[in-house]
Structure 1
């Protein structure tokens, strides 16, 4: 699998975020400790270095965001990368390799952001639907030529995070609504094939943890005790 990839992390300060769901018309507020979040989505090259696998359907550059990866794939990537760097894995897995628990929120290993962490980091202190003009910050259906692009080519948000909107949807740790949708997990951010209304900080999407499609990827996080 080669050497362990370098994944740049951006520090995110503590704070508070209010999430909302248009379907249920409910909102809820979450207090957040400081954490670190991947400056960019995980790329095909980084994914291959850790897993030895090349699942993506888009070709032409190993620096494109990895896609066609499930929530389960993303969790396994996080644990594998943690072990490669001799960090404490964040997730406990059962005999089938399914994540059964976020084992230790203070573990220094890699993990997926929570939904609240994702939206808080996306907004970066802004209050509107987006942190800037959409064409300047995101690859979406109107400017992507219906394909993903190398992360980092659009303007970052005020905290230096790129591609939080557009390019690929990103898996979060959370269950979407277990009473209605069972094991479905949260997706955030919009992707290269989405219209402008899906590329907003508040938009929530859901899918089964084994779902794979060509506009869904992920970025990693680490708890604040992990450093950078």
Structure 2
């Protein structure tokens, strides 16, 4: 990625995270190997450089890209991988909703929700990695609009906008038995109240939907 100071990939150490679901009142442990995740959500300039498209409702090169579906995000990951000479991570057939992940590939991909939460927490145990107004754009301080990436303080691992600004698509299916192909969203957005901007909050959306407070950031597998 080559789109200014906030597009570097940050290496995240191996570890373990506890996920929880408020609706079902269950929790589960996930062990993780080391991986990389982008310091900020994908910007509109980066998305346009790779795809030639500018789908966002709000416009600005340094704003996070939004109004992108899960399929759009997965296709971007493959296109960025091809551009950078990496092996694409995904085998995608949107027509029949097939998405396969080659876990041996070194290309860009969406983080799993466990990777997302572990990276968001950055070793902290509370609902947020800092005071909300210092780290996130949400309804209480956003002026009900999108903001440029990197404008709030990062967590201790150097990751900006993990909470607020735009929700992040994750790889995972939310609950196949109840919601079919709906995918996981994490992080909260510029129009959300403070309770949505917490490390543990899970939201879902159909992978074909495009929403003006939903974007994504990329990850990569390492050490395989």
Same fold (TM over 0.5): yes
User: How far, CA to CA, are the matches of 2:66 and 2:77 in structure 1?
Assistant: 15
1:181 match:
179
Measure the CA separation in 1 of the matches of 2:122 and 2:15.
10
Contact 1:185 1:206 in 2 (8 A): yes
- Determine helix, strand or coil for the equivalent of 1:119: helix
Cα shift readout 1:110-135 (whole Å, capped 9, x = no counterpart): 00000000000000000000000000
1:81 to 2:80 alignment? yes
- 1:8, distance to aligned residue in structure 2 (A): 1.1
Q: Quote how far apart the aligned CAs of 1:95 are.
A: 7.4
For 2:120 and 2:153, the matched residues in 1 are separated by: 13
Query: Secondary structure of 2:108's match?
Result: coil
Displacement of 1:52 after TM fit?
Answer: 0.4
- Number of equivalences: 221
Q: 1:57 to 1:95 in 2, by over 3 A?
A: closer
Q: What's 2:203 paired with? A: 205
Separation of aligned partners in 2, 1:67 and 1:95: 19
Matches within 5 A, 1:45-60: 45-59=45-59
Q: CA distance change for structure 1 residues 42 and 28 in 2, over 3 Å: closer, same or farther?
A: same
For each residue in 1:122-150, what CA deviation from the matched residue of structure 2 results, as whole angstroms up to 9, or x when unmatched? 00000000000000000000000011111
8 Å CA contact retained: 1:171, 1:217: yes
Q: Distance in 2 between matches of 1:149 and 1:95?
A: 31
Q: Which runs of 5+ in 1 are unaligned?
A: none
Aligned partner of residue 109 in structure 2, secondary structure: coil
* Root mean square deviation, CA, Å: 1.4
